[in-house]
Structure formats: structure tokens, C-alpha cells
Amino acid sequence: MASSNYLLNLYQRCLALPFGRKIFSIMFARKAPYFATIKPLITELRPNYCQLTFNKRKAVLNHIGTVHAIAICNGMEMAMGAVAEASIPKHLRWIPKGMNVQYLAKTNSDVTITAKASEDTWQPGEQPIRVEARRDDGTVVAAGEIIIYLSEKPTR
């Protein structure tokens, strides 16, 4: 069943292709080129939910050999942006306003990030999107929320 959301439609079209998730992830990462620095793979996208992964590799490591906290935040922001674009009603627009993240454990493996919203999120004002990062063994390495500000689109 086709969605009226452009991003979900694009995601579904890409899934029909070989390497579709990778193609979609590259396309989405081009919206903000710094997203590409972590080489993310969006593994699941639906209204109010996004999951992405990225590999532990030299380019995302810190001085002690674990995945850098800012690389994790980069992934969190990308997942949040995908949730916002896939979920927001057409009459609203959004912009990130702040990020509150707790670093809970060293990240010594590949990373899986989820961003979650609720149906109540999509109304004007400041709204939180919940974000969480886990390493391969399931340990939560970072968790928090990204605050977005939603407002009505201007009439044209």
C-alpha cells in the first residue's frame, strides 16, 4: 500500500532494488553530507521509527579505539531526521532545537541506533524524539532525546 509520505515512498521503492537499503541510505545521507561520514545503513523506516547501523572502523574511532561519541550523535541525528521526515504531517515543518544525550558505556563494536516518536509528537511546539545507541552485545552505549520544534508551514 502506497504512503502519501515522499520519504516512505522512496524507501519502499528502493527496497525493491538490489542493495536497496544501501541505495536509500546513501540518498538520505546526501541531505546533510556529514551523515555520510559514518557510512550509515538505514535498516528499518516507518512512521515514528527508524533504525540504522554503522560499522566500527578507523574513521569513527576516538583516541582509545572505541567509537567516538560524536559519531554516535551523528547517527542519532540522522535517525531522528528520518523519523521526522517520514512522520510529520504535510501542514507542519520541523527544525532541531537541541540534543540531550548520556554516554553510558564504551562502544567497542558496530553501532545500532534507533529513533522513536509517538503520534502525539506531531503538533506545533517543542517535541522530543527518543534516541538510543547499542553495541553488538545489546548494551545501551548512549541514550537521550533530540528536541525538535514544529510549526505550521506558511501559506503561499
Write out the DSSP string of 66-126: SB-HHHHHHHHHHHHHHHHHHHS-TTEEEEEEEEEEEE-S---S-EEEEEE--GGG-SSEE
- What per-residue confidence (pLDDT) applies to 37? 93
Q: What is the model's pLDDT at position 73?
A: 97
pLDDT score, position 1: 44
Q: What element of type H or E holds 55?
A: none
> Does the residue 1 lie in any domain?
no
Question: What is the three-class DSSP state of 60?
Answer: helix
CA angle 3, 98, 152 (to 5 degrees): 45
How much is the pLDDT for 4? 83
Residue-level pLDDT at 2: 55
What are the cell numbers at 122? 506531531
Low-confidence ranges of the chain (pLDDT < 70): 1-3
Grid cell digits, residue 31: 541531505
109-135 pLDDT per residue, tens: 999 999 999 999 999 999 999 999 999
DSSP 39: -
Q: Is 24 inside a domain boundary? A: yes
Structural domain count of the chain? 1
In a domain, 84, yes or no: yes
| CATH code where residue 89 lies | 3.10.129.10
Q: Establish if 33 belongs to a structural domain.
A: yes
Q: Domain residues for 112?
A: 6-152
Torsion of CA 93, 30, 8, 80, to 10 degrees: -60
d(CA 56, CA 108): 7
Cell reading at 84: 521526522
Given a contact cutoff of 8 angstroms between Cβ atoms, the answer to whether 40 and 52 are in contact is yes
